[in-house]
Chains A and B, each alone.
Chain A
Amino acid sequence: MMTWLRQNARETIAALALVILFAGYIAIHPRGFSTYVVTIWSNQGTLLGLAAIAQFFVVLVKGIDLSVGSIIALTNVMGSFLLNGSPTSIALGMAVVLTVGVACGLVNGIAVVYGGVQPIVTTLATGGIFGGIALLLRPTPGGSIDETMSDALTYAVAGIPVSAVILVIVLVILLMLLRRTAVGLGLYAIGSSEQSAYMTGLRVNRLKLVAYGSSGFVAALAGTYVSMVTLTGDPNIAPSYTLNSIAAVVLGGVALSGGVGSPLGAVIGALILKTISSLMFFSGLPPLAQPFFEGLILATAIALGALGVFQVRSRLELYR
């Protein structure tokens, strides 16, 4: 148990912070701990959690994805066209939306792997393209989503929010894939040392494409779930998701230098962020002061996570 805790220190600390923040949130929420409050919190958390997982896959292989938000916006907008009508057409629409997500991810991957462009600038450019397509398809928020499906996926069953169940299922599947399959371990290997991974005989290029494709897939899941929660397609949601997904993975102990972290950490980071902003909402601070404190808390949290730099034995370790 102790070794496990030590090995997963970053996730453990983040989880503790989350528990404290959540307790604080419940304590000051006027309606206290009720299914309603938890469901809303969980739905919001799931949206950002999925976005953070999408970001995690790219960060795992030493990349960064500035187009996550745009892919979410694009798939959300497509969902607002396709996710209604008969069950068959919804299923087909769902397949199309997810395929688009994977395709977007692969475009990023191909430009990075075969085009030799740095991930950060690639996704900066493709983010513009994906976001542009979303805006072209639907210049203003609108559209319709099948309400039965939305209700089924965003309410609670027996006091447990469906969104939480979805998030847990996604997490379990991903954790199994990442820890138990050759592909998953290969991704970690590439993140830690691309050169060694190549020398070991891993198909580095192909594995990187898998990472980018998976990121696109999860982003599409997030986009679909945005459709379910908001019942509209909104092309303007991109920037906030991109920025928050990066902040979330860092808070959740995923190293931006690659190879370290887990989707669980990313989700915990996302939930922390969501709880902070909900806390702000009910904190009684003047509304105009809230954005400042949100930024301040984010900065403090990140700086606290970096306190380890004062423990290194040699300053040489800080420079790589």
Chain B
Amino acid sequence: MTDATERTVTSRWLNRDRVSVLLIGLGCVALLLGGSLLYPGFLKPGYILQQLQIAAFLGIIATGAMLVILLGEIDLSVPWTITGTAIVVISASGSSNPLVASLAIPLGLCLGIAVGLLNAIGVAVFRVPAMVWTLAVNAMLLGAAVFYTGNSRPNGEVPWLATQAATGRTFGIPNAFLVWLVVAAITVWVLKRTVYGNYLYALGNSRRAVFLAGARVRLVMVATFVLAGVFSSFGAILLLGYTNQAYQGMGDPYLMPVISAVVIGGTSIQGGRGNYIGTFAGAIFITLLSSILSVMQMPPAAREMIFGAIILVMLLVHGLTNKKEGV
């Protein structure tokens, strides 16, 4: 029965995925038009390009989060993976040892891999609910970062490459956005065309069936968490290049927007359903929304409320359309 409904749903042109992308696209346009009424600079290419640049950081981190969510799990260790990576990179890059200094960025990515492995051990091997395990990992990373930096801002240098990638422009287009486009293209290809991508969706739908089919469930899960860690670290390195400093708590404001971007992009939080275009649009939407709220000089409290309310409305629209389709 589900199979039949699934087929009728996908055969229609306006299927679920497209509806969510369309919805967010409309949302972005509405935000830009609404913003331009308040502040005429909103429709200028300069502003839009700058927003795309900022959205790139969110979008790259959200890519990892989306993979984990497709799997039907969640990664709450994102905030301190970001902060930890930034601290590692900035300290290594400022090191007096030239070898360490030149390896700053790979070291940062290694931290992401390590965090991903740690997450995967808990979730894939011990079968602890990801929600709790990644939270505990986040707490440990926080502890390690606090211990290492001793409550002061870590000193060091931001690698030249990170600054270039985050703030430089090529033919007027921010490099960060170009990097994001490359990441997006690869992700779409991996999700649609590779065995790994197919397993990811299948695992999100029925882990049992995939296990019985003989797939290496644990391997796919470990790979996904490691990828998520790497994307968080990658985003963190770009972020470091953009802010030009590392500080404790720099990752904290990213957890909610990252999950929101993935979810309003139409990815089901239960896993197994969603497409990357939605996440892409979701990241841009979230960035525009927070930019407009800050331009309007809303107090942080009101900003938080409106943010929550808009996300809830988007989700309700999704939820109600799903109900109607009987999915």
Contacts and interface: CB of A to CB of B under 8 A. Distances in A.
Contact of B128 (A117, A128, A135, A302): A302
A302 B144 contact: no
Interface in B124-151: 125-129, 131-133, 135-144, 146-147, 150-151
Interface stretch (B154-162, B182-190, B279-287, B297-305): B297-305
Contacts of A121: 259-260, 263, 269, 311, 315
Interface string A132-146: 111110010000000
B41 interface: no
Given A121-B260, A131-B308, A299-B139, 9 more contacts: A116-B323, A117-B312, A121-B269, A124-B311, A128-B308, A246-B132, A247-B135, A309-B125, A316-B211
Residue from B143, B260, B263, B299 whose CB has the most chain A CB atoms within 10 Å: B143
B314 to A, nearest CB: 9
Given A116-B322, A120-B74, A289-B147, A316 B126 contact: no
A185 B321 CA distance: 32
A124 B262 CA distance: 13
Residue from A132, A133, A296, A298 whose CB has the most chain B CB atoms within 10 Å: A132
B308 A306 contact: no
Contacts of B299: 135-136, 139
22 contacts: A111-B316, A115-B315, A115-B320, A116-B320, A117-B318, A118-B269, A121-B263, A124-B259, A126-B312, A128-B311, A129-B308, A132-B301, A134-B301, A135-B301, A139-B299, A243-B135, A246-B135, A250-B132, A291-B147, A296-B140, A296-B143, A319-B207
A205 to B, nearest CB: 13
B1 interface: no
Residue from A122, A250, A289, A295 whose CB has the most chain B CB atoms within 10 Å: A295
A54 interface: no
A119 to B, nearest CB: 9
B122 interface: yes
A120 B300 contact: no
Q: Is the interface of A mostly helix, strand, loop or mixed?
A: helix
B319 interface: yes
Contacts of A129: 304-305, 308-309, 312
Contact of A256 (B131, B136, B137): B131
A318 interface: yes
A113 to B, nearest CB: 10
A259 B138 CA distance: 27
Contacts of A292: 140, 142-144, 146-147
B256 interface: yes
B217 interface: yes
A125 B311 contact: yes
A299 B134 CA distance: 9
B128 A306 contact: yes
B126 A306 contact: yes
A307 B122 CA distance: 11
B139 to A, nearest CB: 3
A293 interface: yes
B5 interface: no
B320 A132 contact: no
B12 to A, nearest CB: 19
B301 A139 contact: yes
B208 interface: yes
A97 interface: no
Nearest to A118: B269
Q: Is the interface of B mostly helix, strand, loop or mixed?
A: helix
Interface residues of B, number: 57
A288 interface: yes
3 tightest A-B CB contacts, nearest first:
A292-B143, A128-B308, A132-B305
B286 to A, nearest CB: 12
A232 interface: no
Residue from B135, B138, B263, B306 whose CB has the most chain A CB atoms within 10 Å: B135
A313 interface: no
Residue from B302, B318, B319 whose CB has the most chain A CB atoms within 10 Å: B319
A125 B301 contact: no
B139 A319 contact: no
B307 interface: yes
Contacts of A243: 135
A191 to B, nearest CB: 15
B270 interface: yes
Contacts of A250: 129, 132
Contact of A125 (B303, B315, B323): B315
Contacts of B259: 121, 124
Nearest to B321: A116
B212 interface: yes
B278 to A, nearest CB: 14
A228 B295 CA distance: 39
Nearest to B270: A118
Contacts of B311: 121, 124-125, 128
A128 B269 contact: no
Interface string A151-162: 000000000000
A315 B126 contact: no
Interface in B163-221: 207-208, 210-212, 217
Contacts of B139: 291, 294-295, 298-299
Contacts of A118: 268-270
Contacts of A117: 312, 315-316, 318-319
